[in-house]
Every structure is written in structure tokens, then in C-alpha cells.
Structure 1
Amino acid sequence: MLSSNGAETLATAERELASGSDSIRVGAELRTAGVDSDLIAAVLTQAELRRRAAAKFGPLAELLLFTPAGLEQATRAPIAALHAARFAEAGCRSVADLGCGIGAESLALASAGIRPHAVELDPFTARIAEHNLAAVGSEAPVTVGDAERMPLPAEVDGVFLDPARRTAGHRDTRRVASPDDYSPSLGFAFAHGDRLPTGVKLGPGLDRELIPDGAEAQWVSSDGQLVEMGLWFGAVARPGLGRAALVHRSGRGSSPDEAHELTAPADTPDADERPLGEFLYEPDGAVIRARLIGSLAERLDAGMVSGRIAYLTGDRAVATPFATGFRVLEELPVKEKELRRALADRGIGRLEIKKRGADVDPAALRKRLKLRGAEGATLFLTRAGGRHVALLAERL
């Protein structure tokens, strides 16, 4: 794939796939043309990876190469750009990208005018990263080696780490069970934060007890999917901010991307419970993980539907990027037989089921409800006022 022959074969395959041919036909045509079977397999795999990568990298994906594991862990390009902007605003000119994978963060750093110093343990993945940097005109090399054993060059004035949270390899990897098995280790990553502007990308479900004192913790969602938690140290951490929830939305058509952020010095207490109002709000996953539901409730003039359940309720419809709003239409019976009859009476054939505080499998319940009809709605199965409730609602 890294040879001129591989690149030409990939381009040929992608043209044929774009014209409507399926992978079986393209593979057969390449075999007839005398292309080696291993290269055919690599080309078709790469074409599929590029197709999937468009969701993370946009048009840039057409220039890059990927591995299955590398694409899975790679940061989305707009989020990586926000990471790079922190280093640029802190005045960093050369940032070590330790455990660079396929190079997503290094690409963003280079685009921000910062020279990346990329290090990758796996030689094959390092070659992919080097190719990707060259594809955007960067001459920054990628060093093969163990980041924990290599001294940083003197010119490096910032560090970014995305510790591998999966077993080694290019495909069919699995998530490691413990943060102790991350590579580089958390201890190594956090130690850099004591002396240099440092960012550490981690999974959004990281045990909060592991968050170091003094670090800014930022949870990020992109297009409704909770994607990461970043820890920021030194000059790339913002003074007075301990918790942040960043909500990113990709632009549509000519519309630009949007990024909205809710911040606080620390976790905020949940709002008080209140009686069910006309409107129900489902906070974004980043807000929930950052424990900023109380701050959001203040903005919405809302309260908790029930203690320790992440739904808010209020009497006003308030537009917010930090939650999805619903109008509560009515309360339906909780018992399944009566609920099925109520939905049938209302002609509801399309039902989005959301649940918190209720022991139910939404997919299995939807089958048992035997929905028929032309109407659509959302059903909330939760607790309110100390009891289980079924709330029929419509999105705002």
C-alpha cells in the first residue's frame, strides 16, 4: 500500500467502486489484470477503511491510509483541531505526539503550524502515520520506539498522549480491562503534566478517582456520541476550570461545524427534584459524565425528574445544545398489556424508547408491543415522584 504500485491500484479500485461496482467484481477485474491477491485484499480493505474514515476525517480521508485498529482509536479531525488549538494558544511550537497511531493528532498539530514530534511503538503503524503526514505536506518524521523509554528532544515544548486502550495489533484487537495496562501508562502520561503543557486523551468512562488534582477534565461528544475525556495540564489547561462538557456538531452542507461548551470549577450538585412539567430534557452524555447537570438545570430553569436519574423537567421550552428537549404529551400505563393497548389506540407504529431507572430492554419491549400505525412518538420509561412512569413525548 505504501508503494507507487499500491497507490495506483488503490486509486483504480476506488474509481471502480465509486462507479457502482461491488468489491467482488473489482477484485475479479484486478485478478484478471494480474494484480497479486495479497495486494487486492489490502486495496479492498483500505478502500473500505477510507469510506468509514470519512465520518472522522471528511474529504481528507481520501489522502490517508488506515489500519482497522488505528481508525477506531483515531481522534475525529475537528476534535483534534481543537486539541491543537490549545497548544497553539499556549505558544507551543513543537509538540511530542507520544503513541501517535495513524497520526490524527499530528496532522492537526501540523495544520495549526506546530511541528509534531510523533512517536509510535508499532513499526507498521508508524509508516502509516509518516505517509499520512507526507500526504498533507508535512516533513515531520515519525520515530519508531517506546515513548516511555525515549527522551524528548530539547525543542519540544508540549506533549500530547493518546494511550492505547486496546491490545497490540492492526485488527481484531480488544479493549484492555485496566488503566494499568494502557500504553503509555497513565503514570508516565501524568508525569509530563508536572513540567510541560500536556494533553491526555482517554476514554469517557475513565474512573474519576484517577483524575489528578489540578487537571482540567473535559468530556467531549460529537454528533451525539460521547467520544473522549481529555485531561489538560499546565498552560493548555484553562485557569479556574476543573470540569467541561464540549458538544460538537458536524456542519451540514455549507453550514460550519458547531462547538458549544459548559464549564465549571468542579462537579456541580444535581438540581432538586420537582414535579413533572410540560417539558423533559435529556442531557448530552458529555454533560452527564462531567457532572454538570446542575449547571444545565439552572440554564433551563428545570429540576430533576427523580434523584440520581439524568432527566430534567421544566415548564418552559428552552433551546440548548446541551440537551435534547421533548414535550410530554401524556402519561400512559406502565403495565405492558395496558401500554400496548394505549399505543395501539393512538396509532403509534414508530416508537423511540428511552429508559433510565427502569429495568427493561427497549428492543425486546418494542417487539412485544406489536406496534402498528402511522404515527411516531418517544416513550420514556423512568421514575418520577417516587414511582415508575411511562411518558409519551414528542421531540421539540
Structure 2
Amino acid sequence: MDTSELTALLTPEGLRLLDEAGPIASTDDAARTVSRLRAAGHSLDLVSAVVGQARLRVKAATKFGPFAERMLFTRAGLEQATRLSIAARHAGRFRAARIDSVADLGCGIGGDALGMAGIGIRVHAVDADEVTAAIAAYNLAPFGDAASVTHARAEDVDLSGTDAVWLDPARRTAGHSETRQVSAAEWSPSLEWVFELLKTKPGGVKLGPGFDRAQIPDDLEAQWISADGSTIELVLWSGSLAREGVRRAALVVRGSDAWELTAPADTPDVEVRELGAFVHEPDGAVIRARLIGEVARALDAGMLAPGIAYLTSDAALTSPFVSSFRVREQLPADPKKLAQALRARGIGTLEIKKRGVDVDPAVLRKKLSLRGDESATLILTRVGSKRLALLADRV
């Protein structure tokens, strides 16, 4: 969305047309709506903005639920926005630390600011992009004076009236649609500036889950977060927002439920052991936080192989921090022999999981020519130079 489209949309007529358009989920629906609105005499900028927003609202429902129906977006802003359920958890940490006002520096479309304002925290949202800041202002307007938005660089904001900061450095090229990731040296604001600010203010900074661990300052709490099976972000917490004695945390969220594993430092992996009756795959947040050892001890499990994030045990135990599989049998790893074995067992539906082996599951699936009514999970990995193909069932 460019400035002319936003200007056309942010009018009584534009917002009325957007509400009347309803959800637009397909290209055919979009084409029909464009034809109808243009035939009614509406400008190209307005039609483009209305149809674009109606399509983005459909996509945004996965992150914002029913709230998406009354929000505005850019494509890049939606991709980078924190889903509302996670933003609410971030806001809850500020509230638990008795923080009343937060400066959201790099607010994007306002996802995290919504979570804060929604529980009564005064939030001042800031974004360096004019269109994005305007969209954030629209999304936060229902909160009145409790939420304000400024178009400015994070580095230029007066923070004297705020208790804490929330930062989401721009990690992609500027733009509202197609963007690309840039190196940490090009982030805005810079990491150096962010880390210096966190020395003076309690705060949190949202980063990608693959952030270089060597750059994490020792005095910050690092919390990796996964949601519904995907590891989505790393948050570094400072000051009163960092929990005493916690430097590594893995927060696992599934739907409305959440579990967290914390430790004062990385946890050493447990010893390797022979394949047992069960294989456990740690959640991505646990792997990123390097807390596999904590989970393994709770499951009475060992590593299946050095440096590969699979655990194995004989105990019929599982936990929210792993996906557990009961091993049926070990099959040949050779694709032709594997295909024969699966057909002999009537397996037509197969989940393929792999770690430590160079295998493209999509390519392998074609080679297997699956047929049958049975279902199973195939775990592909290695122990040393030996490849393993384990037929298993989810627990």
C-alpha cells in the first residue's frame, strides 16, 4: 500500500466500502470485486486499497482472529507482526513487573502495542515508516488516549516519560509488500543502540529465533518462543523484566495452553544411548534454548546420536516439550527397499521427519509410491555414519 491508496482508504467512503466488501479469499473474488467497484465509478487507488485490505484481513485472521476484521495492514507488516496471543503474553510480563507505560519502538502495524493497550498499559508506538505508522494509529485508535503513535526513528524518541521499552528492529529492507532480510549490521535501529538502551531501561527486544547466540549479552534473559509447532521468535529481556536466575527459557504455546522451561544457562546434553522403545523430538524452542538435557532427564531419555536433536527412551513418558513416537521397527534406509517394506505393511499415509540426513521428504515421498490404508511416521536420522529409518507412531 502506498500513500495515495492509504489516503483514499482512510475516508468514510473508503472504510465503508472495505466493510461492505467482506472477506476476499481468492483471486476470482478479488477480480469480481474490482470490476464491481470500478463499474460503480470508484477510483483505482481506492479500489486497489479496498481489495488489498480485504485480502489481507483474511490472511490476518490466523494471527489476530476476529480483531482482523477491523484492522488495517501492509503485506510486509502482517508477515512481521507478532500474533495477538503471543503479544498478550509479552504484555503480561510488563504488567507482572508493574510497568504502566511502554514505548514500542518499531511498532509495525501495532500487534504488540495492541496486546499492551488491551490490558491497560499506556503505550507510545513509534515507526520510522509513515504509512506503517498511520496504519498502527488506525489499529490503536479504539484505545483513545491510552495509545499514541508517532512517525519517527526509534533513536529520536524522548523516552523520559516511559517506564520501559519494547523493540522490534527492522530486519528487512524497507517496503510494504516484497521485502528481503538484511544482515544484523543493517538492522534499524542497530543492535549496538538497542543493547545500550536495554542497559538503561527495562525492556524486551524481539528477534528472529535463529539470532546468533554469541551476540546475546550475558545480563539479558533469552526466551525462545514456539507457537503451534513453529519456533517464531527470540525475546531478550532486561532489567526488572528479566527473571532472577533465568538466562535461558523455552516457551511452548499450543492454542490457549502454554508451558515454559527455564534455566540459568545452557543445559549440557545427556549421554548417547541405544535406540529404545520411544523416540522424542524436542520442540524447536527447546532446541534453540539448548535445554534438551533438561527435557531428557525428565523423560529418563538419552541422545539418539551426538549433536542430533532426537532423544530415545524405554519409559512410557512424554511432555509438552517434545513430540513422542513409539518405535514399531527399524526399516532399510535404501529408498527402494524402504518402499517395498512400506507397501508390504499397507502404509499409504506417511509423516516423514528427518534430522542429520540430507533427504528431501517431498522427493522421497514420490519414490516411495505409497499405497494402503495404514498410516505411520517415518523418522530418518543417523548414528555416526549409519542411516536409520524408523517406522513409528505418534504418542
* TM-score, scaled relative to structure 1: 0.94
Instruction: Kindly provide the amino acid, as one letter, of the partner of residue 74 in structure 1.
Output: A
Instruction: Kindly provide the amino acid, as one letter, of the partner of residue 48 in structure 1.
Output: R
Q: Which residue of 2 aligns with 1:276?
A: 275
Q: In structure 2, how many angstroms separate the alpha carbons of the residues matched to 1:138 and 1:323? A: 44
Q: In structure 1, how many angstroms separate the alpha carbons of the residues matched to 2:74 and 2:363? A: 35
Instruction: Kindly provide the amino acid, as one letter, of the partner of residue 97 in structure 1.
Output: D
Q: In structure 2, how many angstroms separate the alpha carbons of the residues matched to 1:139 and 1:157? A: 14
Q: Give matches, 1:78-157, under 5 Å.
A: 78-137=85-144, 139-152=146-159, 154-157=160-163
8 Å contact kept, 1:98–1:120? yes
Q: Which residue of 1 aligns with 2:371?
A: 372
Change (3 A) 1:138 1:344: farther
Task: Find the residue that maps to 2:217 and give its secondary structure.
Answer: coil
Q: Give matches, 1:317-356, under 5 Å.
A: 317-356=316-355
Cα distance per residue 1:240-265 (max 9 Å; x no partner): 00000000111xxxxxx011101110
Task: Find the residue that maps to 2:53 and give its secondary structure.
Answer: helix
Measure how far apart 1:320 and its partner are: 1.3
C-alpha RMSD of the superposition? 1.7
Cα distance per residue 1:338-375 (max 9 Å; x no partner): 11111111111111111111121111111111111121
Q: Which residue of 2 aligns with 1:68?
A: 75
Q: In structure 2, how many angstroms separate the alpha carbons of the residues matched to 1:112 and 1:191? A: 28
Measure how far apart 1:136 and its partner are: 4.6
Q: Is 1:303 paired with 2:308?
A: no
Cα distance per residue 1:159-184 (max 9 Å; x no partner): 000011110011111111x1111111
Task: Find the residue that maps to 1:65 and give its secondary structure.
Answer: coil
Task: Find the residue that maps to 1:151 and give its secondary structure.
Answer: coil
Q: In structure 1, how many angstroms separate the alpha carbons of the residues matched to 2:41 and 2:97? A: 54
Q: In structure 1, how many angstroms separate the alpha carbons of the residues matched to 2:301 and 2:286? A: 15
Q: In structure 1, how many angstroms separate the alpha carbons of the residues matched to 2:39 and 2:358? A: 57
Q: Which residue of 2 aligns with 1:56?
A: 63
8 Å contact kept, 1:63–1:135? no
Question: Hey, which bits of structure 1, 4+ residues long, moved more than 6 A?
Answer: none
Q: In structure 2, how many angstroms separate the alpha carbons of the residues matched to 1:290 and 1:11? A: 43
Q: In structure 2, how many angstroms separate the alpha carbons of the residues matched to 1:137 and 1:278? A: 58
Q: Is 1:232 paired with 2:219?
A: no
**Which segments of 5 or more consecutive residues in structure 2 lack a partner in the other structure?**
1-8
Q: Which residue of 2 aligns with 1:173?
A: 179
Q: Which residue of 1 aligns with 2:37?
A: 30
Measure how far apart 1:49 and its partner are: 0.8
Q: In structure 1, how many angstroms separate the alpha carbons of the residues matched to 2:306 and 2:231? A: 23
Change (3 A) 1:73 1:273: same
Q: In structure 1, how many angstroms separate the alpha carbons of the residues matched to 2:353 and 2:117? A: 42
Task: Find the residue that maps to 1:22 and give its secondary structure.
Answer: helix
Q: Is 1:10 paired with 2:18?
A: yes
Cα distance per residue 1:192-221 (max 9 Å; x no partner): 211111100000000000000111000000
Q: In structure 2, how many angstroms separate the alpha carbons of the residues matched to 1:340 and 1:139? A: 61
Q: Is 1:314 paired with 2:313?
A: yes
Measure how far apart 1:290 and its partner are: 0.2
Q: In structure 1, how many angstroms separate the alpha carbons of the residues matched to 2:201 and 2:148? A: 22
Task: Find the residue that maps to 1:141 and give its secondary structure.
Answer: strand
Q: In structure 1, how many angstroms separate the alpha carbons of the residues matched to 2:82 and 2:330? A: 42
Q: Is 1:249 paired with 2:257?
A: no
8 Å contact kept, 2:226–2:284? yes
Q: In structure 2, how many angstroms separate the alpha carbons of the residues matched to 1:7 and 1:138? A: 22
**Which segments of 5 or more consecutive residues in structure 1 lack a partner in the other structure?**
251-256
Q: In structure 1, how many angstroms separate the alpha carbons of the residues matched to 2:145 and 2:383? A: 56
* TM-score, scaled relative to structure 2: 0.95
Instruction: Kindly provide the amino acid, as one letter, of the partner of residue 58 in structure 1.
Output: G
